[in-house]
Amino acid sequence: MSDNYSAEMIFQPKSYPVYTYVDRSLGNSTYEKRMKRAIRTPGNLVVVSGASKSGKTVLCHRVVADREIVDLSGS
């Protein structure tokens, strides 16, 4: 894949970002692994918080299928 990206490839307001997702490591784990583990635990409520544009929604869409998401806005 080329490193030349157009703005249309990166900024797609109503679609999943393909080129801009950053898989973050946490020692021997990742946010994705920790979220999957938390979701598998019966009775758990998983809260994702962070700064604007830090990837919260994209993380949720990567980990949880659309049919399993209960979206509650805190704004």
Please count the structural domains in the chain: 1
Dihedral (C-alpha) 23, 27, 30, 35: value to the nearest 10 degrees? -150
* Domain membership of residue 41 as a residue range: 17-68
Report if residue 12 sits inside a domain: no
So what's the pLDDT on residue 1?
Answer: 47
- Report the alpha-carbon angle 53-54-58, nearest 5: 90
Q: What is the pTM of this model?
A: 0.60
So what's the pLDDT on residue 4?
Answer: 74
Report if residue 32 sits inside a domain: yes
Nearest CA to 31 out of 46, 18, 42 is that of 46
Report if residue 39 sits inside a domain: yes
Report if residue 10 sits inside a domain: no
- Report the alpha-carbon angle 41-31-70, nearest 5: 55
| pLDDT tens over the chain, length 75 residues | 456 767 666 666 676 666 666 667 778 888 888 888 888 888 888 888 888 777 888 888 888 876 666 767 776
Report if residue 74 sits inside a domain: no
Report if residue 55 sits inside a domain: yes
The rounded distance, in Å, linking the Cα atoms of 35 and 64 is: 9
Report if residue 1 sits inside a domain: no
The rounded distance, in Å, linking the Cα atoms of 11 and 16 is: 9
